[in-house]
Structure 1
Amino acid sequence: MVERRHWFSDMLPHLILTIGVGILAFPVWLAVVGSTWDAGTIANGTMPLYPGPYAVENYTRALGHGGRSSGEPVGMLMLNSFVMALAIALGKIAISMISAYAVVYFRFPFRMAAFWLIFITLMLPVEVRIYPTYQVVAQVGLLDTYAGLAVPLIASATATLLFRQFFMTIPPELVEASKIDGAGPLKFFKDTVLPLSITTMAALFVIQFIYGWNQYLWPLLITTRPDMQTIVVGIKKLLVTQDALTEWQIAMTTAVLAMLPPVLVVLVMQKLFVRGLVETEK
């Protein structure tokens, strides 16, 4: 017997999803609209919900100077954020893959103890260990450098756990076949493990890139030169304490520009990202 479903039961999920998307997209639309109006229209609370005539002027000012409160162009701030996010994402993937590979395929004393020590670091985020981390970075002279921005954040227990769980799903027959062919650990890692891990690496890259791009506290702490600040710190410095002095149109423009790289990364790697999260058999 074929069950007849009412049209309302089919439309209700779509209606709920549409409302949810609208709620999430509305602040983004306000930022886009605000980047096309002048400061007076925004400050007076009379900004309409459609774009204005000042888009070219606002984006030119933001890309050329970054506003009155920030002395560096938005392009420089975005470059700093991009280098930091890329280094964090690639560093986390590389270190996590190597550590997970060692834990799964090598037999050495206290192997599981080493893994659990890595796993316990989940309880020590950068905010908890920020003072000793800052001391180490300052003592080795990495303040106001790309290495200082990225290196303290590249260790990841979560990525190590994910790679370990994935490596454990690789059939043991592949390991035995590699041994019969005379492949060593490095060759097995390069020829077998890496190709099978592409989707997992892609999913982690997207997550970790956005994580690095959105960092605020650590870059704020270790950067004193304006030319080494990131885009998130730059947006905060555009918002001065007195509303009359805040150039809201430049702040909105900078916020819109700051959203573009993460969105592009998600769009470019969307298929691999989804496959890396949902595939059960690689």
Structure 2
Amino acid sequence: MVENRPFLTFLTHLVLIAGVVIVVFPVYLAFIASTHGPGQFVSGLVPLLPGPHLVENYSTIWNEGLSSSGAPPIWVMMMNSLLMAVAIAVGKIAISLLSAYAIVYFKFPFRLLAFWIIFITLMLPVEVRIIPTFAVVANLGMLNSYQGLILPLIASATATFLFRQFFLTIPDELMEAARVDGAGPMKFFRDILLPLSRTNIAALFVILFIFGWVQYMWPLLVTSDSRYYTIVMGIKRLAASADSEPLWHLVMAAVILAMLPPVLVVIFMQRLFVKGLVETEK
């Protein structure tokens, strides 16, 4: 039985409200900055109310970008980031599902060794792998291409481990029943394992989409053509304009636009995302 303690309830809500304010206030300031003119924030006075240049600033950064930074319009970079994030998330999930399925349900020599080799890659920092990976991509002629942006990031030891652990919890009776009904390996995978993995797939998709969306170091290494710039690269270039002060109102407009796709993905997949993280019984 939960006791009704008004003071503890008040204190809990107070802490939650304070946490929300701490998290949301910088985002609010970024939005306010994106609605004012170029000289408003250089003066050192930070307004707390929206300004009159909202439509003008967002239209400029969306259609024209910032020519002095060498970055294309924001919509081009957002399309590149969207393609990269979706391809990485879908590719990681597809490869991890098949890898975990093979390790759990197929009997072949050294399958546990193969799993542990995959798992050990989690212990290797990105910095250890990035130079040899770049050399391979360069030798294959995939610099300044979508293949170079996506393929090196498409494998995931974490997702393989999570799907393997989930498949191990599925009763063997399901596999035996499917075999009695004449279902082959792929039919069992498609009709039984995939529906049971729906919430796990949704939770991983959200995490992996955000992982792909916020990539900065790898796109910076493999792209020098502005046609392949991602949104995170673009924001960095906008904030580091050569021979001039950064136009913070346009930079903040780009930041707000860059936040929208991950936020929308989390909102629309919130139920499946939370269910996939907390659900233990299938």
Give the TM interval when normalised to the shorter protein.
over 0.9
Gaps of 5+ in 1: none
Equivalent residue, structure 2, for 1:19: 18
Q: Tell me which moved more, 120-129 or 17-26.
A: 120-129
Equivalent residue, structure 2, for 1:153: 153
From the superposition, tell whether residues 195 and 158 of structure 1 become closer, same or farther in structure 2 (CA, over 3 Å). same
Q: Report runs of 4+ in structure 1 exceeding 4 Å deviation.
A: 241-244
Deviation at 1:4, TM superposition (A): 5.8
Identity %: 59
Look up the equivalent residue of 1:27 and give its one-letter code: P
Deviation at 1:48, TM superposition (A): 0.7
Q: Tell me which moved more, 4-13 or 193-202.
A: 4-13
- Cα distance in 2 for residues equivalent to 1:130 and 1:10: 49
Equivalent residue, structure 2, for 1:167: 167
From the superposition, tell whether residues 4 and 201 of structure 1 become closer, same or farther in structure 2 (CA, over 3 Å). closer
Equivalent residue, structure 2, for 1:133: 133
- Cα distance in 1 for residues equivalent to 2:65 and 2:112: 50
Gaps of 5+ in 2: none
Equivalent residue, structure 1, for 2:235: 235
Deviation at 1:241, TM superposition (A): 6.4
Deviation at 1:166, TM superposition (A): 0.6
- Cα distance in 2 for residues equivalent to 1:221 and 1:106: 39
- Given that 1:122 and 1:157 are in contact with CA atoms closer than 8 Å, whether structure 2 keeps it comes out as yes
Look up the equivalent residue of 2:261 and give its one-letter code: P
- Cα distance in 1 for residues equivalent to 2:172 and 2:58: 56
Structure 2 counterpart SS, 1:128: helix
Deviation at 1:227, TM superposition (A): 1.2
Equivalent residue, structure 2, for 1:195: 195
From the superposition, tell whether residues 127 and 3 of structure 1 become closer, same or farther in structure 2 (CA, over 3 Å). closer
- Given that 1:126 and 1:153 are in contact with CA atoms closer than 8 Å, whether structure 2 keeps it comes out as no
Deviation at 1:175, TM superposition (A): 0.5
Equivalent residue, structure 2, for 1:79: 79
- Cα distance in 1 for residues equivalent to 2:204 and 2:234: 27
Q: Report Cα offsets for 1:80-108 as digits up to 9, x if no partner.
A: 00000001000100010000001110111
- Cα distance in 2 for residues equivalent to 1:264 and 1:58: 22
TM (normalized to structure 1)? 0.96
Equivalent residue, structure 2, for 1:182: 182
From the superposition, tell whether residues 179 and 55 of structure 1 become closer, same or farther in structure 2 (CA, over 3 Å). same
Deviation at 1:163, TM superposition (A): 0.2
Q: How many residues are paired up?
A: 281
Equivalent residue, structure 1, for 2:263: 263
